Amino acid sequence: MKFVGMTLIMILLAMCMPVLAADAPLTVTVAPERVWIVEGDGFRKVNFDFLVANSSAMPMEIVELKLMVRGQRGDFELGRELNRQGMIPSISSLITTEIPAGKTVQLLNPFSEFPGSVDLGVLEYTLVFEIKVAEGAPEPAPMEVKVQVRPQEFKPRTRLSLPLKGKVYIIDGHDLMAHHRRIDMTHPLIVGLGMKYNISRFGMDFVVVDGAGSHFKGDGKKVDDYYVFGRPVLAPATGVIADCIDGRPDNRIGEFNMDYDALMRTKDLRLFGGNFVVLDHGDGEFTFFAHLRNGSQKAKKGDRVAAGQEIGRVGNSGDSFWPHLHFQVMASASFDCELFPAVFSRYTLFRGKRSFKVKDGMPDTGDLIQQR
């Protein structure tokens, strides 16, 4: 790569690692490398982040972020932009705009949701940076980095049913604001654990709510106040238990027994899940059920379970503040691996008094659903 004037142009593909010049002060990569399209209720989403590495001795600042969406045939579909215009500049919506010298910063992709009619063939991002200089010093011309992402349609190999009976509510899924989505891979805790992936990128938390939308009764100070606590957890498809742990205590509300010292000492990411089960569906897809109730598991490692068979009960163990079922689909039984969008078959989506039958769908935060 080389400078054209003072503008640095680097084309980075989401599906491969580019070869960069040794003197390139900024590199931008996409995480994860493989980007899936998530189909929702009238929208399409992509779930990935940018990792910006500043190898120079000067701090940088991102001042503009532009997106051009092109269809499979190269036709322009739509564009979006963050910049410094206006009283409250849109670029300030990023968690940070500063890239310190010699550091790597993660930027959450702010352009992650699109109308369902948009053909997401190629996403062309342009990131514009300025070198931060002392007040009064001459300002160099901005540097421009181009990133090209080709998202892929996800085609599941396992037909999944919902893991809980009755109406269930996804209190937190994997949209841009969900905590599963917002893991900083440059954080000292994550770096110290040696994590290569956001291990909850497509995770979702299931609860049960009443007619007012609350997931607990009374003051919610006891685990028994939560409607989902103790509910049977069902295998969403036939599989073999690839890994499981039981016997860890359930957290009391307001108390937290997650042993972070043990986590950092052992680097055993399974500790996040408390009591958990991993099911191997035999086709490169694994399902993970976390925070199960202490002593509730019905099978052991190596056992084969049928679709709909009870494998445990909802609890509040591990990295959990109140009872819920954490569920996700993974590429292996290892926790530090690629995650897939969860595609459930034959369920009903509720919007107030209205209901919609879904043949195959990818529910997300705020969806109230029930298996048919």
- Both 175 and 145 in one domain: the answer is no
Domain presence at residue 159: no
Q: Which residues contact 27 (CB under 8 A, 6 or more apart)?
A: 10, 12, 20, 52, 53, 55
Q: Tell me the CATH number at 211.
A: 2.70.70.10
Q: What is the pLDDT of residues 8-17, one digit of tens each?
A: 333 333 443 3
Please tell me the distance from the alpha carbon of residue 68 to that of residue 80, in angstroms, as a whole number.
7
For tokens 């073999």, the residue is: 240
Four-point Cα dihedral 79, 83, 86, 88, nearest 10: 110
For tokens 């937190």, the residue is: 172
Q: What confidence category does residue 259 fall into, taking pLDDT thresholds of 50, 70 and 90? A: confident
- Both 131 and 178 in one domain: the answer is no
Domain presence at residue 178: yes
Indicate the burial class of 185 (C-beta count within 10 angstroms; 0-12, 13-18, 19 or more). Answer: middle
For tokens 């078959």, the residue is: 345
The mean pLDDT value for 331-348 works out to 96
- Both 183 and 67 in one domain: the answer is no
What is the span of the domain harbouring residue 57?
Answer: 3-153
Alpha helices in the chain (DSSP H): 188-193, 260-266
Q: What is the pLDDT of residues 193-220, one digit of tens each?
A: 999 999 999 999 999 999 999 999 999 9
Model pTM above 0.85:
yes
Q: How many domains does the chain have?
A: 2
Contact 139, 133 (CB under 8 A): yes
Domain presence at residue 163: no
Q: Tell me the CATH number at 136.
A: 2.60.40.1470
Residue 192 has pLDDT above 80, yes or no: yes
Distances (CA, A) of 343 to 39, 47, 162, 224: 9, 15, 10, 30
